[in-house]
Structure formats: structure tokens, C-alpha cells
């Protein structure tokens, strides 16, 4: 059946009992169906009970969640034990149903039929069993339960992703400089002109290839993880950064433009870079698009992408809205990047030649920008 392929078994006994209560409430037309007591209390073999429409006695359900990964089964020993307990349920039951997530088992069904006849001959309650396939059939027959189960409880085979950061804290670097003003008598050496030797003077060639490195730039690693039970194909992720918190973004992409390479070599390298590119800046300065080359993400798999972020000064967090799109599934959400600056302390001594120029210490915080 198609629905059996779509419906996933509950993962916890609480979820399974809740399903049984909802399902048999519909089957029995019994709005007053209840779960029996609470965890740890003596339940006399009954997890869910109610009086079906047209009946005058209680029916009970014993819920048995079984591990689908190990193909765990309902056992004869469990059946005997629960039947004995149910004999002490008050008032006496008319029927006891074993509802289990175990798959259908002909041997167990035969044993249940035998126990049913034996009970009836003793004037006791009847006994029946519903394996997972039987329960799926009932769910399909009762559309209210089906819609609740697959939409609200999300127990069907579902498509789902998680979007998160490998590290959700960034540490832009600043210099915390203390200016100290100190009186220093005029030096007699200052009366003589300062002579620069050729070795002392800066070379005009020394600045070639040098650049300023702004240590406020931080890399974040965005992870897309498939946490559903279906493969995801043709997916993209759009990230929208809070403009009030971010000064600039980078897709970390750079073309090769070395003066030491020929145009043909650079063209070949850049063509390869283009084909491997997955992260894109956009016309909006606060938006990044991720378009993976590997466009299929199988169950439990994940992929990661690096983005450069330069936060504005004096912000404590950056909010990022995300929009995930794929062939058959879309999802939106948000994550927050915490901003915890690192400070390097420096002391700058300023010599003044007059006592009137001496000032209290001044603290100045500036971005760490180094020429390399």
C-alpha cells in the first residue's frame, strides 16, 4: 500500500499511546477515550480505555512500541503477562487489544486467536492484535486521524533540513590603546637636524604587493543538514543579514589576477574557479546566495559553506534570516551570530615638552588593521 510507505512509526511510547488514543477514539466513536493513569502507576495491562459507541462495557488497549531497526517482535510471554494483568482491570473489560508497531507475524496472530478462544470459554474478555500494517489501514480509513497524524505529528516520511552554524560566535579583533602623556624635557639632540641614511629610509619598492588586513573580518561556516527521511534535490539557500549589524559580507571568491601569469593561464584557472563556485554575493550588500554544485543531499548528510562577515562596531549579535528552496520542499528560519570582540591592549606613550600638555590617560578602541 502506498500509505504504508509514507507513514513512519512513532519513535516513543508516549507518541504511540497518543496515536492509539486518537485512532481508537475514532474507530469506537468514543470521545471520552482516555489514557490509563500515568507512567509508573499500576495500569493492570491497559494503556488506553473507553466505552465504544453502542457498548456498555470498557474496552482496553495495550500499546507495545517495538524497535523497527532491530525488527523487534511482540512475544508470547508479553501477551500472557498483559492478559493476566488485565484480569484485574476494574470494571472488567469486554475486550483487550494489543496494538503494536511490530510488523505482522502469523505465529503471534495464531497465538492471539488461541488466547481469545480460551478467554471467551472462561467468560473473560476477548483478545485481538493490531500490528503496524493493521494500524496503518485504520489510519487510512479514518481521514481525520490521518490528517492529524501526518500534518500535526509529522510521523510520515518527511523532508526536513536544519540550517545552523558550526560556531555561532565570532571574535572580531580590536586594539585597545591607552594613550599616556608624559613630560619629557627637550633633548639637545633635537636641535640638530635628523639625517636619514639610505638604509633607514623606506624603499618605494617595499610597499609593492602589501595590503591592509582588517581583523574584524570573520569566517562563518554555514551547514545544511538533511534531517528528514527523503533525499533533497536542486536546493539553494538564501541568507539575509541584518543591515544594522553588518558592515560588509564576502563570498570568499577571488579570481586569479597575478601579474606573473599569462592571460591564457589565468583564463584557464578562472574558468575552473567559476565552475566550482557555490557562494555568491548579490547586488544587495547584505545578501548571500548558496547554490551547491552537488545538488542532491541524501538522508543524514550535510554540506558546509564559508562566508566572510565584517560586523559593525559595537554590536553584540547579528540576525540572519534564511530561505531554503529545493525541488519539492521549502523552509524558512533564522539564526543568530553572537559577536564577542577580542581586544589587544597597547600603551602609547606621548612625550610632551610642556607640563601644560600633560593630560589624563585616554583609552581609544580601534579596529585591528595591519599592513602586510
C-alpha cell at 152: 500535526
Whether residue 364 is contained in a domain is answered as no
Whether residue 362 is contained in a domain is answered as no
Pair 121, 168 in one domain = no
Q: Which residue has the cell 503496524?
A: 132
Residue 100 — pLDDT band, cuts 50, 70, 90?
A: very high
pLDDT value, residue 3: 38
Pair 132, 174 in one domain = no
Whether residue 369 is contained in a domain is answered as no
Whether residue 218 is contained in a domain is answered as yes
Distances (CA, A) of 131 to 42, 76, 120, 125, 214: 24, 14, 22, 20, 64
Pair 41, 105 in one domain = yes
Pair 247, 98 in one domain = no
> Phi then psi for 177, rounded to 5 degrees?
-100, 125
How far, in Å, CA of 160 to CA of 170, rounded? 27
Is 298 in contact with 225 (CB distance < 8 Å)? Answer: no
C-alpha cell at 300: 543524514
pLDDT value, residue 209: 60
pLDDT value, residue 196: 39
pLDDT value, residue 37: 82
Pair 274, 138 in one domain = no
- CATH number of the structural domain spanning residue 123: 3.40.1350.10
Residue 201 — pLDDT band, cuts 50, 70, 90?
A: very low
Pair 292, 233 in one domain = yes
pLDDT tens track for 111-136: 999 999 999 999 999 999 999 999 99
Q: 152, 179, 197 — which closes off a domain? A: 152
Q: Which residue has the cell 610642556?
A: 354
Q: Is the four-CA dihedral 239, 243, 244, 248 of positive or negative sign?
A: positive
Whether residue 363 is contained in a domain is answered as no
Pair 122, 226 in one domain = no
How far, in Å, CA of 240 to CA of 225, rounded? 19
Residue 200 has pLDDT above 50, yes or no: no
Residue 329 — pLDDT band, cuts 50, 70, 90?
A: confident
Residue 368, number of CB atoms within 10 A of its CB: 17
Pair 127, 170 in one domain = no
Beta strands in 55-102 (DSSP E): 58-64, 93-100
Distances (CA, A) of 153 to 9, 109, 148: 11, 29, 7
123: left (phi over 0), alpha (psi -120 to 50) or beta: left
Pair 147, 180 in one domain = no
Q: 84, 117, 152 — which closes off a domain? A: 152
pLDDT tens track for 234-271: 999 999 999 999 999 999 999 999 899 999 998 999 99
Is 45 in contact with 96 (CB distance < 8 Å)? Answer: yes
Is 26 in contact with 146 (CB distance < 8 Å)? Answer: no
pLDDT value, residue 204: 46
Domain of residue 83 covers 2-152
Domain count, the chain: 2
Query: Cβ neighbours of residue 200 under 8 Å, at least 6 residues apart?
Result: none
pLDDT tens track for 4-44: 445 788 878 888 999 999 999 999 999 999 999 876 677 88
Q: 108, 132, 152 — which closes off a domain? A: 152
Pair 143, 167 in one domain = no
How far, in Å, CA of 121 to CA of 124, rounded? 7
Whether residue 365 is contained in a domain is answered as no
Pair 148, 165 in one domain = no
Residue 90 — pLDDT band, cuts 50, 70, 90?
A: very high
How far, in Å, CA of 23 to CA of 16, rounded? 10
> Of 116, 149, 144, 120, whose CA–CA distance to 132 is shortest?
149
> Of 232, 202, 199, 241, whose CA–CA distance to 325 is shortest?
232
pLDDT value, residue 104: 92
How far, in Å, CA of 254 to CA of 270, rounded? 9
- CATH number of the structural domain spanning residue 303: 2.60.40.10
Buried b vs exposed e over 133-160: b needs ≥16 C-beta within 10 Å? eebbebbbebeebbebbbeeeebbeebe
Whether residue 165 is contained in a domain is answered as yes
Whether residue 73 is contained in a domain is answered as yes
pLDDT value, residue 230: 84
pTM: 0.54
Burial class (CB in 10 A: 0-12, 13-18, 19+), 248: middle
Pair 142, 196 in one domain = no
C-alpha cell at 254: 577571488
Looking at residues 181-208, what average pLDDT do you find? 54
Give the count of alpha carbons within 13 A of 182, CB side only: 9
How far, in Å, CA of 124 to CA of 85, rounded? 13
Amino acid at each position: 500500500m502506498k500509505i504504508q510507505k509514507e507513514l513512519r512509526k512513532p519513535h516513543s511510547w508516549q507518541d504511540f499511546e497518543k496515536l492509539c488514543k486518537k485512532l481508537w477514539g475514532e474507530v469506537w466513536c468514543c470521545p471520552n477515550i482516555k489514557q490509563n493513569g500515568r507512567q509508573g502507576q499500576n495500569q493492570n495491562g491497559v494503556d488506553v480505555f473507553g466505552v465504544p459507541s453502542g457498548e456498555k462495557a470498557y474496552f482496553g488497549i495495550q500499546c507495545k512500541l517495538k524497535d523497527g531497526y532491530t525488527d523487534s517482535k511482540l512475544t508470547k510471554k508479553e501477551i500472557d503477562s498483559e492478559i493476566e494483568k488485565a484480569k484485574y482491570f476494574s470494571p472488567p473489560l469486554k475486550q483487550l487489544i494489543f496494538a503494536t508497531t511490530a510488523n505482522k507475524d502469523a505465529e503471534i496472530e495464531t497465538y492471539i486467536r488461541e488466547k481469545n478462544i480460551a478467554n471467551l470459554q472462561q467468560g473473560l474478555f476477548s483478545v485481538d492484535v493490531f500490528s503496524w500494517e493493521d494500524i496503518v489501514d485504520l489510519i487510512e480509513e479514518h481521514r481525520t486521524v490521518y490528517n492529524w497524524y501526518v500534518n500535526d505529528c509529522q510521523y510520515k516520511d518527511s523532508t526536513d533540513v536544519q540550517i545552523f552554524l558550526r560556531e555561532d560566535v565570532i571574535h572580531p579583533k580590536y586594539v585597545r590603546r591607552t594613550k599616556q602623556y608624559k613630560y619629557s624635557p627637550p633633548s639637545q639632540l633635537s636641535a640638530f637636524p635628523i639625517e636619514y641614511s639610505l638604509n633607514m629610509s623606506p624603499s618605494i619598492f617595499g610597499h609593492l604587493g602589501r595590503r591592509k588586513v582588517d581583523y574584524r573580518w570573520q569566517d562563518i561556516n554555514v551547514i545544511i543538514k538533511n534531517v528528514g527521511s527523503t533525499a533533497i534535490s536542486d536546493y539553494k539557500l538564501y541568507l539575509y543579514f541584518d543591515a544594522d549589524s553588518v558592515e560588509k559580507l564576502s563570498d570568499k571568491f577571488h579570481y586569479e589576477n597575478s601579474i606573473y601569469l599569462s592571460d591564457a593561464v589565468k583564463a584557464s584557472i578562472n574558468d575552473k574557479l567559476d565552475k566550482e563556485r557555490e557562494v555568491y554575493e548579490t547586488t544587495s550588500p547584505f545578501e548571500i546566495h548558496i547554490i551547491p554544485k552537488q545538488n542532491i543531499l541524501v538522508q543524514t548528510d550535510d554540506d558546509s559553506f564559508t562566508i566572510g562577515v565584517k560586523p559593525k562596531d559595537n554590536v553584540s549579535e547579528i540576525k540572519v534570516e534564511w530561505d531554503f528552496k529545493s525541488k519539492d520542499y521549502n523552509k524558512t528560519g533564522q539564526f543568530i551570530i553572537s559577536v564577542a570582540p577580542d581586544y589587544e591592549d597597547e600603551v602609547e606613550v606621548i612625550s610632551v615638552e610642556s607640563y601644560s600638555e600633560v593630560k589624563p590617560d585616554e583609552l581609544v578602541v580601534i579596529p585591528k588593521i595591519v599592513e602586510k
